[in-house]
Amino acid sequence: MLTLGIGIGIERLKATDWRTYYSMAPKAPVRMPTLHDETIIVTGASKGLGRSMALHLSERGANVVLVARSEDDLAAVADAADGETLVAPADVRDPDAIDDVVRSTVERFGTPDTLFNNAGVPGRHFGDDRGALVNTDDAEWTRIIEINLTGVALFTKRVLETMLEADETSGNVVNVSSGLGKAAVPNAVPYVSSKWGLEGFTRAVALEVDADGINVNAIDPGGRVNTQIWEHLPDAERQEILQPDVMDDAAALLAAQGPDGVTGESMTAEEWEDRLAET
């Protein structure tokens, strides 16, 4: 049995299980790209994976647009960043707020080159009996789907519209997924549903804009990360899980892809590093 740390166990999945991707073999360091003059929007940038990616992308030279609901938290990230940033508080469920973010981005930096759809929530009762579908009220289901999936669609649509208006179309959309977009556990049905939906969304949109030189991909950390979703774990167990910087290098490699890049794929951070290091 494979323990997920949420009080349940499931049978180990087949060899493609997202938890089997990590290898103990030493790897050669990946040569990281510079991202000077690239403009990158990161949603959910105030904490966790989003904050870490935003700071790393800034360190690589990108102009980073920081999106989350808390302006104060975003300002703290901007203060820690090495490069140019734009603090753009917004709720990804609000189409008008997204319009404002995209408009402000274009006014400040020009057409965005990459969008990282990272904003997401696990649900208030993720992993315990109160999170079972029969115990999930309608408002909670709607909240999770709207943030984790509908918000991604709203943001992606508006950024793609802007990219497609450019004289030479290119760009990247990167959706932050989860191993639970490829597997299933009980007591987390809204979250699991949103991530399975995100996987299909990624592949379908990639087909629509492939001819325009825009890459659409999904990335997941490859295991549990020391962020909000696992904050209920005991301290000893949290020390053994991945840290929020696990996707930083893969994020930079994905943002550096040109119009002939990999598209329509979903991999763990480590898999992306291996794949893009070859190109």
| Domains identified in the chain, total number | 1
User: Does 233 have pLDDT greater than 90?
Assistant: no
Confidence of residue 30 (pLDDT cuts 50, 70, 90): low
CB within 8 Å of 40: residues ≥ 6 apart: 57, 62, 63, 64, 65, 112, 113, 114, 115, 116, 255
Question: What confidence category does residue 29 fall into, taking pLDDT thresholds of 50, 70 and 90?
Answer: low
Query: In the predicted model, is pLDDT for residue 6 greater than 60?
Result: no
Structure-model confidence comparison of residues 104 and 33, the more confident one: 104
Cβ contact 118:176 at 8 Å: yes
**What whole-number distance in Å separates Cα of residue 179 and Cα of residue 192?**
9
**Residue 237 lies inside a defined structural domain of this protein:** yes
Q: Which helix (H) or strand (E) holds 99?
A: helix 95-109
User: For residue 267, is it within any domain?
Assistant: yes
What is the rounded radius of gyration, in angstroms, for the C-alpha atoms of the chain? 18
Which tokens sit at 241?
Answer: 């899980």
For residues 69, 75, 77 and 80, what is the CA-based torsion angle, rounded to 10 degrees?
180
Encoded tokens for 260: 């002939």
In a domain, 11, yes or no: no
Q: Is residue 207 part of a domain?
A: yes
1, part of any domain = no
- pLDDT at position 15 is 33
Range of the domain at 88: 36-277
Task: Tell whether 254 is covered by a domain.
Answer: yes
- Reported as a single tens digit per residue, the pLDDT across 248-257 is 999 999 999 9
In-domain check, residue 270: yes
Count CB neighbours of 234 within 10 A: 8
Calpha distance 79→204 (Å, rounded): 37
Give percent above pLDDT 90 in the chain: 76
Has residue 28 got a pLDDT over 80?
no
Q: What is the pTM of this model?
A: 0.88
Q: How many residues does the chain have?
A: 279
Residue 260 has pLDDT above 80, yes or no: yes
Dihedral through CA 254, CA 255, CA 259, CA 262, nearest 10?
10
What CATH number corresponds to the domain at position 154? 3.40.50.720
Inside any domain, residue 197: yes
29: left (phi over 0), alpha (psi -120 to 50) or beta: beta
Kindly indicate the confidence band of residue 79, based on its pLDDT and cuts at 50, 70 and 90. very high
Q: How far apart are CA 155 and CA 142, in angstroms?
A: 18
**Which residue's entry shows tokens 């009220």?**
137
Nearest to 118 by CA among 24, 54, 61: 54
> Which residues are the active-site residues?
191
